[in-house]
Amino acid sequence: METTEHVGIDYGRNTTANKDPNTNIRYGIINSNSVMYFHEESIPYYDGIELECGSCNHDFTVIDGNFDCPECGENTNDDIEPLSWFIDNDEIQAESNDSYYISVFKSKYFTYVAHCSPCYPGAGDLNSPLNFKDENNRAYCFGPKWFDKEDPHNRCPYPIYEVDTGKRVG
């Protein structure tokens, strides 16, 4: 695991941007290549996609994952890419869109990381773990079950701590 001493620049300017206002833990941002099974475990999100029916040319918006044209009933779900992929369960809330990054909005786990680039102001870069503890640089992260110590392509890039206890668990 490669670590850094450089905390980076807080482009959120110490606001609650990309930070949980209840815990003061930053949202974590990680490259999707670092979490191999995210897309297998996540659910595609389609709501809000604008479509045109191939049968009657009616324009409509996908709502509640319904791809049926409201005019003629034709199903238009042909190779439609989702707007994002998400997980929302007791352990973690995370979402990935076409930017190739995953945002972790809530988790039972956190780590100490450098600040993200201006693209995610106020968030923590999970691919840049700190080599020291800085309470201002805590960020939600994926827990131990998402990684495999034996697989060099799926090793955890950061140390893992429990939110409830602060105890290191990975």
Identify the pLDDT of residue 137: 95
pLDDT interval class at 150 (50, 70, 90): confident
Domain range list for the chain: 28-42+84-162, 47-81
Q: What integer best gives the mean pLDDT of the chain?
A: 91
Identify the pLDDT of residue 40: 87
Q: How far apart are CA 101 and CA 95, in angstroms?
A: 9
Cβ proximity of 111 and 138 under 8 Å: yes
Identify the pLDDT of residue 143: 96
pLDDT interval class at 7 (50, 70, 90): confident
Q: Which residue has the higher pLDDT, 148 or 77?
A: 148
Structure confidence by residue, pLDDT tens digits, 42-84: 998 888 888 888 899 999 999 888 889 999 998 887 778 888 9
Identify the pLDDT of residue 97: 85
pLDDT interval class at 133 (50, 70, 90): very high
Q: How far apart are CA 28 and CA 4, in angstroms?
A: 16
pLDDT over 90 (residue 37): no
Q: Are strands 92-96 and 109-115 parallel, antiparallel or unpaired?
A: unpaired
Model pTM score:
0.86
Structure confidence by residue, pLDDT tens digits, 77-116: 777 888 899 999 999 999 998 778 999 999 999 999 999 9
Cβ proximity of 29 and 102 under 8 Å: yes
pLDDT interval class at 148 (50, 70, 90): confident
Q: Which structure tokens are listed for 136?
A: 């201002």
pLDDT interval class at 153 (50, 70, 90): confident
Cβ proximity of 139 and 163 under 8 Å: no
Cβ proximity of 167 and 55 under 8 Å: no
How far is residue 101 CA from its own chain's centroid?
Answer: 7
